[in-house]
Amino acid sequence: EKKELEALKGQKSITKDGRIVELAGNIGTPNDIEGLLNNDAEGVGLYRTEFIYMDRPSLPTEEEQFNAYKEVLESMNPKPIVIRTLDIGGDKELSYLKFDEEMNPFLGYRAIRLCLDKKDIFKTQLRALLRASVYGNLKIMFPMISSLEELLAAKRILDEVKCDLEKDKIAYCQNIEVGMMIEVPSAALISDILAKHVDFFSIGTNDLIQYTTAVDRMNEKIHHLYNPFNPAVLRLIKMTIDNGHKEGIWVGMCGEMAGDKRMIPILLGLGLDEFSMSPISILPARKLIRKLKYEDMKDLASKVVNMSSAEEIKAYIEKILF
Ligand code: PEP
Ligand code: MG
């Protein structure tokens, strides 16, 4: 088993009938680079930058951020690295940024909402990212976008920071792809509109499941209701991929679902282009994908998205795959 996975290093993630997808890793710090290299990650689909801001007494400086981003970009160059801008709030708090207590933190002042309000924090991060962009293949991703206005506001601030750098004669890469997470149902539902303004989508199923089904992802008591097989979730995923492809952009996924061997056949069949997961799941996912036929998975996907319940979908998948 271990040997078999080892032999897959350097191999393509390709189906039997020639569909190639990208298998990338999710990381939290530059310390995770080793895991990416050991597991032959084809890129980074999600670098969660909030860890740079956590467990410390004050905001990280532009220089500290620049160094962390540069390290990851250089170590993987020329592989694509998707770096997500600050996604704090919800369950992740910062001791040095105290805000009013909220009734529903996951529905509150978090991620892009906070960044659009605290522009200085956002601009410092974007400046560090742009400066680091010359060291590798950077793609910038905004979290928790729930409307077109938010996306356009975030892009406007990015343009302002680019102008500042030009004034200061500081180099940055001119053709950085800019994308957004699809993790709020409102974003999935207008993904046809949003796709016209970004270079890629990455579906965040951890939050998308939570918000679509109104099930708190942290609440043990209702954990049985948190179900990736929920047909409502699968329909939103299908809608997002179809709308992205109609506008000619690539669509990835960086939620836990992307590394789940029961979900990969469905996602492949729905046309997902990039799967980003915990690095240890990459080689098993490659092994699975190389055994599948894309044409068959398309049939499978269209069958399951039309099923009526999570139970039915799960039973069907487990029967054919085990
Ligand atoms: C997600 O919501 O699926 C996601 C990848 O982001 P996080 O888990 O960091 O909220
Ligand atoms: Mg999320």
Q: What is the pLDDT of residues 97-124, one digit of tens each?
A: 888 889 999 999 999 999 999 999 999 9
The yes/no answer to whether this complex scores an ipTM above 0.95 is yes
Task: Please tell me the predicted confidence (pLDDT) of residue 75.
Answer: 97
d(CA 7, CA 3): 6
Instruction: Give the number of the ligand closest to the Cα of residue 145.
Output: 2
* Bridging pattern class, strands 22-27 and 250-253: unpaired
> Is 233 touching ligand 1 by the criterion CB < 6 Å?
no
- pLDDT beneath 50: ranges in the chain: none
Enumerate residues with CB within 5 Å of ligand 2 (an ion).
183, 204, 207
113 is in an annotated binding site: no
Task: Please tell me the predicted confidence (pLDDT) of residue 92.
Answer: 84
CB-based contacts of 253: which residues, under 8 Å, 6+ apart?
A: 45, 202, 203, 204, 205, 237, 267, 272, 274, 275, 276
- Residue 6 is inside which H or E element, if any? helix 2-6
Q: Ligand 1, atom 1: nearest CA belongs to which residue?
A: 204
Report the separation in Å between the CA atom of 21 and the middle of ligand 1, taken as the mean of its atom positions: 21
Of 115, 163, 173, 254, the catalytic one is 254
DSSP H helix total and E strand total for the chain: 15, 8
d(CA 7, CA 316): 31
Report the separation in Å between the CA atom of 215 and the middle of ligand 1, taken as the mean of its atom positions: 15
Report the separation in Å between the CA atom of 56 and the middle of ligand 1, taken as the mean of its atom positions: 22
19 is in an annotated binding site: no
Task: Please tell me the predicted confidence (pLDDT) of residue 141.
Answer: 99
Residue 254 a catalytic site member = yes
> Is 255 touching ligand 1 by the criterion CB < 6 Å?
yes
93 is in an annotated binding site: no
Phi-psi region of 115 (alpha: psi -120 to 50; beta: other; left: phi over 0): alpha
Single pTM value for the model = 0.98
pLDDT tens profile 219-269: 999 999 999 999 999 999 999 999 999 999 999 999 999 999 999 999 999
262 is in an annotated binding site: no
Task: Please tell me the predicted confidence (pLDDT) of residue 320.
Answer: 87
d(CA 40, CA 279): 8
